[in-house]
């Protein structure tokens, strides 16, 4: 599982010109699901998203999490995070979980994330053509990949 996190002052996602999810200060989470991901991958990504300390404290150091600042999450499904250019210049997406299986996995993951915290969580619409707007704060952008777990403690 991959999550591209962007620290934002604000973000919103629209479908057909209608805003379907919007947040103020917090994290925009672009979420890609690998074809072999398990609940353990989702749990690791969720723990990291909630715990990562990329918001500044009073001394200006990145020392606070989205939970510490009372921020929000905007989660957008993004199968293209598993795009591969190993064979030419047109991306292949064979590593991404197939559509209907990914839809169920994504829905279960977001539901579990909501149960694990009190943050405001907004979403895009799975498999829709979405327009995402954001004000990247910093800019700060971090990639998480459950297949490259460097720290199992968080």
Residue, of 107 and 149, whose pLDDT is higher? 107
Strands (E), 24-152: 26-32, 55-56, 62-64, 72-77, 120-123, 130-145
Please say whether the beta carbons of 72 and 122 come within 8 A.
Answer: yes
Task: Rounding to the nearest 10 degrees, give the CA dihedral for residues 31, 32, 38, 41.
Answer: -60
Neighbours of 151 (CB within 10 A): 8
User: Which positions are annotated as active-site residues?
Assistant: 80
Question: By the 8 A CB rule, do 74 and 131 touch?
Answer: no
* Alpha carbon distance 41, 75 (integer Å): 16
pLDDT at 154: 46
Q: What is the pTM of this model?
A: 0.94
* Average pLDDT of the segment spanning 146-154: 66
Instruction: Map out the domains of the chain with their CATH numbers.
Output: 2-148 (3.50.80.10)
pLDDT in tens, 74-131: 999 999 999 999 999 999 999 999 999 999 999 999 999 999 999 999 999 999 999 9
Residue 153 confidence (pLDDT) above 60 = no
């Amino acid at each position: 599982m991959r999550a591209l996190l962007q620290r934002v002052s604000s973000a919103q996602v629209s479908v057909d010109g209608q805003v379907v999810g919007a947040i103020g200060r917090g994290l925009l989470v672009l979420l890609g699901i690998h074809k072999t991901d398990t609940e353990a991958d989702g749990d690791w990504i969720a723990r990291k998203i909630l715990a990562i300390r990329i918001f500044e404290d009073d001394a200006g150091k990145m020392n606070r999490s989205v939970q510490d600042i009372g921020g929000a999450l905007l989660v957008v499904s993004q199968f293209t995070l598993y795009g591969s250019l190993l064979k030419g210049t047109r991306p292949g997406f064979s590593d991404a979980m197939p559509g209907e299986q990914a839809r169920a996995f994504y829905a279960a993951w977001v539901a579990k994330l909501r149960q694990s915290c009190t943050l405001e969580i907004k979403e895009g619409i799975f498999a829709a053509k979405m327009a995402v707007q954001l004000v990247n704060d910093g800019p700060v952008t971090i990639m998480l990949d459950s297949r490259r777990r460097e720290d199992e403690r968080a």
